[in-house]
Amino acid sequence: MDLSSFLTSLATSCIIFLLLMLLFFWLSNKPGNNVVYYPNRILKGLEPYDAMYKTRYPFTWIQEAFSSTEKDVISISGVDSAVYFVFLATALGILVVSGLVLLPLLLPLALTDKGKSNQTTSKGTFTDLDKLSMGNIKEKSDRLWAFVFAVYWVSVVTYYLLWRAYGHVSELRAAALMSPEVKPEQFAILVRDIPAPPVDQTRKKQVDSYFRALYPDTFFRSMVVTDYGKVNVIWKELEGYKKKVAHAEAVYAEYKEKGKPEGTRPKNRPRCCGLIGAKVDTIEYYTEKIDELTTKLEAEQKVVLREKQQASAFVFFKSRLSAASAAQNLHARMVDTWTVVNAPEPRQVIWDNLTKQFYSRQIRQYIVHSIVFLTIAFYMIPIGLVSAFTTLENLKKLLPFIKPWVKKKALRTVLEAYLPQLALLVFLSLLPKLLLVLSKAEGIPSESHAARAASGKYFYFSVFNVFIGVTLGGTLFSTFKTIQKSPDDIIPLLASSLPGNATFFLTFVALKFFVGYGLELSRIIPLIIFHLKRKYLCKTEAELKEAWTPGDLNYGTRIPSDLLILTIVFCYCVIAPIIIPFGVVYFGVGWLVFRNQVLKVFVPSYESYGQMWPHIHTRIVAALILFQVTMFGYFGVNKFYYTPVLIPLPFLSLIFAYICSKKFYRAFHDTALEVAREDLKEEPNMEVVFKSFIPPSLATEKADDDQSEDALSPISRSVSSA
């Protein structure tokens, strides 16, 4: 790729972004699209935009993004979103401060030296950019000292900004946990691995008497987790029927309006997706079904609550302080029984995982980690196999009906060329979901925790495969024999193949932000889907709302890909400092676009009070260490005599990571008592707190009956005194 074609591709991407931005301006100004462009504000009961921005210009959204404060973000979208912005701002800060020194220092040095003629920064004849990179410096040159200084500068800037960011996030988290609002999860703990109850006691009594004895003043009541899978199935069926009745009624009403005053009652065939059986009146049929199921549900609920109590429970306390303290205490002498953790928010509890036992969780974790490791290291093998088996010849045998298609030559060429890539693409797009499923299989009790675990796995996958994979790329196989001789050579190898790929990554970063952010901002796909659904499918208000309600930001995949960009920019920022402005634009535009999306579009589906941050922090440090090690190798390749001056850096990074985790980490795992101590706005209504944890399928509208054996019911005082 030469300079002109690089610039062309850059310009094209840039124009696409501008076009998409204009499209966004045009579409978002149509009131009919408000639910697509401002759903979060609408759900919060706010106007789509503030009065002061009533007149919309193409850049108003940028103005709005800039004028919004962290407080706005927290109040509208929660601490997790604010933490995401701290991450973006920190990455931006690191790159800006590094760039301010590196660009004026290194570019002239590189430009004015007469470099090695045989080494190029790009695989083609991209000689113009080449002159701006470290590849243009002579071997053993004293000018390399400036590059050594640059490595130190980037490291120190990163330490400083990360340190400040960790402190800031820690404050955000504390402030959120100190908030005077009553949050049910702050009054509860999750107890797992409860040992078998004595023969004469139910699980419920066991839990109650255990905790009442330990916390006589502050224990409120407990909720034993039940195996309510069967009830859930019935409940979901019931909800489905209720929706169908509502839908049918809406259709009926529409008919009525259209002319026939008595209307045509909608009918359907009840079996096999409406394909067979006699037609019945939909409304009558489902109403009948609903009555039937409601009775069944109630009966089943009673059975579940009484007889399917599991070995875990939520325990509620009358104060935040006691709950925070209880979640940190060792309760039983055997550490694998009565294990406690902070209760997750009710909405993000993964109920199925609550009942998994201690060693089961440990073993699952190992199995999952092994699977993930194998996936990361060897995912090319199954994909290769799949694409080998899905050659056209094989497909013809397996699926004879595609034969006529294959005969066309043009189509055939395209298919043969793209089948392996297709397999790879399918795999890559399914990977985040797969990792999330795997993470949940570890036995993690909350959605946010599972997302964090999946996000970590995805980061290591990205870095290992995209970055190291592409960089080593062709180099690897040709030099395979060298590696076999001594595996220690991997770092110099990695380092020497870095410059050859600088332009590939430049293009990658540029494409990623211009096209990706353009699509994100303009929300074309959700818009089209919404309009299609509204026109052809939705009949009731609820269905319509479901059609436009957005998901959440999906940190689980977003953060790893941002971190990948940061890793790439880190690794190239000294070798080819020209990559820094691209990184700055990536994080700068990202900050703007996501500020817009977070404030107006995405609705967070859970809140973890910034527990994501320690993970982000660790991975930024990991990226920094990768950068430092690679630079050490690269200086070695340049035969720089003083390369060992870089040796302290990775150790410094490790010490930095260690000190940070010592100083800040535990506050992200437990709640500090001085934080939990803060007063509440009002006396918490413990009944409300308790009820918020009842899964919807088990919630009954009836008042509590005093069956003291039941998983949810309060224990009577006479029992407690036993």
Residue ranges that bind a copy of itself, judged by CB under 8 A: 170-171, 174, 210, 213-214, 217, 321, 324-325, 328-336, 338, 358-359, 362, 659, 662-667, 670-675, 677
CB of 325 to a copy of itself, least distance (A): 5
Q: Which is nearer to a copy of itself, 407 or 677 (CB)?
A: 677
Q: Which is nearer to a copy of itself, 358 or 379 (CB)?
A: 358
CB of 592 to a copy of itself, least distance (A): 31
Q: Which is nearer to a copy of itself, 645 or 667 (CB)?
A: 667
Inter-residue contact 221 to 712 (CB < 8 Å): no
CB of 178 to a copy of itself, least distance (A): 10
User: 704-708 long-range CB contacts below 8 Å, 24 or more apart?
Assistant: 707/306, 708/204, 708/205
User: Which helix (H) or strand (E) covers residue 316, if one does?
Assistant: strand 309-317
CB of 332 to a copy of itself, least distance (A): 5
Residues whose CB falls within 8 Å of the CB of residue 415, separated by 6 or more in sequence, listed in order: 392, 406
Q: How many CA atoms lie within 13 A of 47 on its CB side?
A: 6
CB of 674 to a copy of itself, least distance (A): 6
CB of 444 to a copy of itself, least distance (A): 17
CA proximity to 151, closest of 660, 658, 630, 568: 630
Cα three-residue angle 548-554-556, rounded to 5 degrees:
160
Q: End-to-end alpha-carbon separation of the chain, Å?
A: 81
CA dihedral sign, ordered 161, 164, 168, 173: positive
Q: Which is nearer to a copy of itself, 77 or 339 (CB)?
A: 339
Q: Is 159 exposed, middle or buried (0-12, 13-18, 19+ CB in 10 A)?
A: buried
Inter-residue contact 708 to 721 (CB < 8 Å): no
Inter-residue contact 699 to 706 (CB < 8 Å): no
Residue 238's alpha-carbon distances to 279, 286, 692, in angstroms, are: 21, 9, 21
CB of 163 to a copy of itself, least distance (A): 12
Q: Which is nearer to a copy of itself, 106 or 165 (CB)?
A: 165
Q: Which is nearer to a copy of itself, 129 or 368 (CB)?
A: 368
CB of 318 to a copy of itself, least distance (A): 13
* SS3 at position 358: helix
Question: Mind spelling out the 3-state secondary structure of 398-411?
Answer: HCHHHHHHHHCHHH
Chain position carrying tokens 């991975």: 619
Q: Concatenate the DSSP letters of all residues of 575-641 into one string.
A: TSTTHHHHHHHHHHHHHHHHHHHHHHT---S---TTTTHHHHHHHHHHHHHHHHHHHHHHHHHTT-T
Q: Which is nearer to a copy of itself, 336 or 546 (CB)?
A: 336
Q: Which is nearer to a copy of itself, 174 or 354 (CB)?
A: 174
CB of 534 to a copy of itself, least distance (A): 48
Q: Which is nearer to a copy of itself, 540 or 661 (CB)?
A: 661
Q: Which is nearer to a copy of itself, 185 or 447 (CB)?
A: 185
CB of 659 to a copy of itself, least distance (A): 8
